[in-house]
């Protein structure tokens, strides 16, 4: 647990730099999100819209980025696409459609949206490890409707 907090703190400075750059330009932070179309196997949209006003949010963001960074390579190898969103409304491309989630649709500021190619989706709130994210993606996308 202590190791995770140290790693989170090490990730916190670059993450805060990204957020401050995103905040001043009015654009979303890049975080190396690949430019790709929705995967036919499924898409995972990461979102953290909590801002950096409070110390707890900064610590949570560090842990969020750690989970994001450790999951994205595995998600790609499993055939899933992903995206990162830092401001509302969340605008998520899904093939020819765009899913939009505003403050009224989301009860928390951090989480994941798993989107199947048929447009069905599931919102999961919270901050997870990379392994947990990949496990949840497999379970959701391989489950029959």
Domains of the chain, with CATH numbers? 2-142 (3.40.30.10)
Closest C-alpha among 116, 134, 118 to residue 42: 116
Residues whose CB is less than 8 angstroms from the CB of residue 82 and which lie 6 or more positions away in sequence, other chains included = 33, 34, 43, 44, 45, 46, 71, 72, 75, 76
pTM of the predicted structure, to 2 decimals: 0.72
Q: What is the mean pLDDT of residues 117-145?
A: 93
Looking at residues 10-31, what average pLDDT do you find?
37
The whole-chain average pLDDT of the chain stands at: 78
| Banded model confidence at residue 38, pLDDT cuts 50, 70, 90 | low
């Amino acid at each position: 647990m202590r190791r995770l907090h140290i790693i989170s703190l090490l990730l916190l400075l670059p993450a805060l730099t990204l957020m401050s750059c995103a905040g001043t330009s009015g654009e979303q932070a890049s975080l190396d999100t690949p430019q790709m179309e929705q995967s036919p196997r499924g898409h995972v949209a990461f979102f953290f819209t909590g801002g950096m006003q409070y110390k707890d949010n900064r610590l949570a963001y560090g842990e969020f980025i750690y989970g994001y960074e450790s999951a994205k390579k595995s998600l790609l190898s499993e055939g899933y696409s992903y995206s990162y969103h830092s401001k509302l409304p969340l605008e998520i491309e899904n093939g020819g459609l765009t899913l939009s989630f505003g403050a009224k649709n989301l009860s928390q500021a951090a989480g994941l949206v798993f989107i199947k190619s048929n447009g069905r989706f599931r919102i999961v709130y919270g901050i997870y490890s990379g392994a947990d994210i990949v496990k949840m993606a497999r379970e959701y996308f391989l489950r029959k409707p």
